[in-house]
Amino acid sequence: MAGAPISWGVCEVPGWGNVLDPKTVLEEMTSLGLQATELGPPDYLPAQPDELRKLLDEHGLSLVGGFLAVPLHTGEQSDVDEADRVAALLAAAGAEVLVLAAATGLDGYDERPALTDDQWRTLIDTAAVIRDKAAAHGLRTVLHPHVGTHVERTAEVERFLADSDLPLCLDTGHLLIGGTDPVELARRFPERIGHVHLKDVRADIAATVRDGDIGYMAAVQQRMYVPLGDGDVDVAALVAFLRDAGYTGWYVLEQDTALGDDSPLDTPVRDTARSLAHLTHITA
């Protein structure tokens, strides 16, 4: 099991909220008994491998991988180069996986222009190029279906699985918000699950995001994400199925959090502790 800075409100979206400093976040991960973390947004943690390793070593943490959202549908060389840079950093710091998302190119995750068939084909081709770049650094690449990206809804997830050979990051929260039952998806495509982000969400708020009644950031600020066991994702069924299916990868505890100026600063560590307790209970 690993943590992720987004559970502490650390996000690349402008205006997301109060961002805690890396020392606080890493110390609190360690205090919970977590032994690994994902990287977080660009340049939140050191961008030099030696500095990154030193910082993580000081907190007894290893690096699992990192999330990267780039516009795959445009085919811009600069986006491939950025993915290559991030993959090189991850690999040099001991990570295993590049978690790739098909960004729209717009700020945030509240708007999602439609793609043409040509743009979709470019998306598939660019993902393959990035996969090969990451593999040259010794990393696996997984595609993360994500709210506000071009692979969000059920039809898009299934189209990606049909058109690409990349495995998925099974993110239980983003899939449910996009209209996909993550347990059913895992049962249909067990061989395509390459990485897991465990989240729990309130289905009522998720439905308002899916229907376009509220933006993603506003929904996060309204506590759409809750500790594991408090929401509507069947986390126990998913973990049991993946165990029986032979999944041996990471479970990354991710609860997208946005901290306002008045938010208690211990909310992230308390919520993550509750998620850990629930996960320990259902795996005992």
Distance of CA 191 to the CA centre of its chain: 19
pTM, 2 dp: 0.96
CA dist 147 and 262 (Å) reads: 26
- Using left for φ > 0, alpha for ψ between -120 and 50, and beta otherwise, residue 235 falls in alpha
CA dist 272 and 255 (Å) reads: 8
- Burial degree of 13 (CB within 10 A; 0-12, 13-18, 19+): middle
Q: What is the pLDDT along the chain (284 residues), one digit of tens a residue?
A: 999 999 999 998 888 999 999 999 999 999 999 999 999 998 899 999 999 999 999 999 999 999 999 999 999 999 999 999 999 999 999 999 999 999 999 988 888 899 999 999 999 999 999 999 999 999 999 999 999 999 999 999 999 999 999 999 999 999 999 999 999 999 999 999 999 999 999 999 999 999 999 999 999 999 999 999 999 999 999 999 999 999 999 999 999 999 998 999 999 999 999 999 999 999 88
Q: 269 vs 5, 90, 255, CA distance in Å?
A: 11, 25, 11
Helices (H), 107-171: 117-136, 154-163
CA-atom Rg of the chain in angstroms: 17
Residue of 161, 149, 202, 150 whose CA lies nearest to 185: 161
